[in-house]
Amino acid sequence: MDRGGCRLNGGGGQGGGTESESRLGMISLEDLESFSEDQHSDSAYNSNGSLEDEAEPMEEEEQDRLLHYWQDVGRGHQVDVPRDMAAPIQQLTSNNQGTQDRENVPFSLITRKEKCGDMLYEKRHYEKANWACITVHEEQYEQSICLGFMKLMRYICQQNSSGSYLGLTIPIVTVVRTADSHSVLSREVSVAYYLPTHHQAQPPQPYDADIVIEEWPATIIYARPFSGATNEHTILNEISLLAEVLECPEIRTQESFIVAGYTNPAAANRQNEIWFLERP
């Protein structure tokens, strides 16, 4: 695994199979919600609506069930999900029973371009902010995404200097890099998590040396929404589509882009965005 910066900027270089594969483009914290949202609430209560006396054994069973689900998904992407992920997975599930509980990365809308009622793109301004990010370079694109995100999950779930659960934000972003022709994705990807507002002034430090806290500068981005899986093919296609609708030729020459994920990858209408960054 390579450690490297994933700073948000407009330049380059910084910064189907099994059932599981057909449902998901990558492992993320959203993957388990469709599997566990109803089961999680049902398993903790008896028919009278009161907590069961055997809460602790049931919590262990829930951890095992969620872990096995993630392990099944991971095998579809040639990624091993270790046993020590059971507690972070269960904690993320219990603390986040829906995207309404998550803080959105704040931005100011500059302009929006539409055609026949469909949004082509939005131009936005993001203030400087602290992000926790990790750069990974594995043989397969999906492997890099999965491994990077599992490390961020551990950081979010108490493996940090505050010793507490930090809370989740959306979107979770992935910085991807392409060749000059925009026809191939680099195996090096960076997965990044926006620190919640109450942690921005003093970000908890990660115990994992591969995770870095970076202050990303104020940035203007062009965002185009898309739905469905986020794999190498769809990302390259979305980069091409956004390049076609933008009226700023210089943006077409950049080599790094961002994929922003907002909703459950297993959902029928998964919501994502592709971001282009405006160069200074």
CB 176 within 8 A of CB 273: no
Structure-token pair, residue 242 = 């956004």
Q: What is the pLDDT of residue 109?
A: 98
Q: ∠ CA 171-243-184 to the nearest 5 degrees? A: 80
126's tokens: 């993001």
pLDDT band for 13, please (50, 70, 90 cuts).
very low
Indicate if the pLDDT at residue 23 is higher than 60: no
Q: Reply yes or no on whether the pLDDT at 220 is more than 90.
A: yes
pLDDT computed for residue 145 by the predictor: 76
C-alpha separations of 187 from 103, 136, 140, 171 in Å: 30, 8, 6, 22
Q: Fold for domain 103-277?
A: Multidrug-efflux Transporter 1 Regulator Bmrr; Chain A (3.20.80)
| Total Cβ atoms within 10 A of residue 227 | 12
In the predicted structure, residue 134 carries a pLDDT above the cut 60: yes
| Nearest Cα residue to 242 out of 126, 113, 142, 145 | 113
pLDDT tens-digit series, residues 138-176: 777 777 777 888 888 889 888 899 988 888 889 989 999
At 224 the pLDDT is 95
The confidence band for 250, taking pLDDT boundaries of 50, 70 and 90, is low
157 versus 20: the higher-pLDDT residue is 157
Judge if the upstream peptide bond of residue 171 is cis by omega within 30 degrees of 0.
yes
260 in Cβ contact with 276 (< 8 Å) = no
Which of 39-48, 84-93, 203-212 is the most confident on average?
203-212
Residue 158: DSSP 8-state: T
Q: Which DSSP letter does residue 48 get? A: T
Per domain, the residue ranges of the chain are: 22-95, 103-277
Closest CA to 239 of 151, 121, 124: 121
Task: Write down the pTM of the prediction.
Answer: 0.72
Residue 263's alpha-carbon distances to 34, 122, 174, in angstroms, are 10, 19, 14
Contact 148, 189 (CB under 8 A): yes
CA distance 234 to 219: 25
| Full DSSP string of 75-96 | HTTT----GGGHHHHHHHHHH-
Note whether 7 and 216 are within 8 A (CB).
Answer: yes
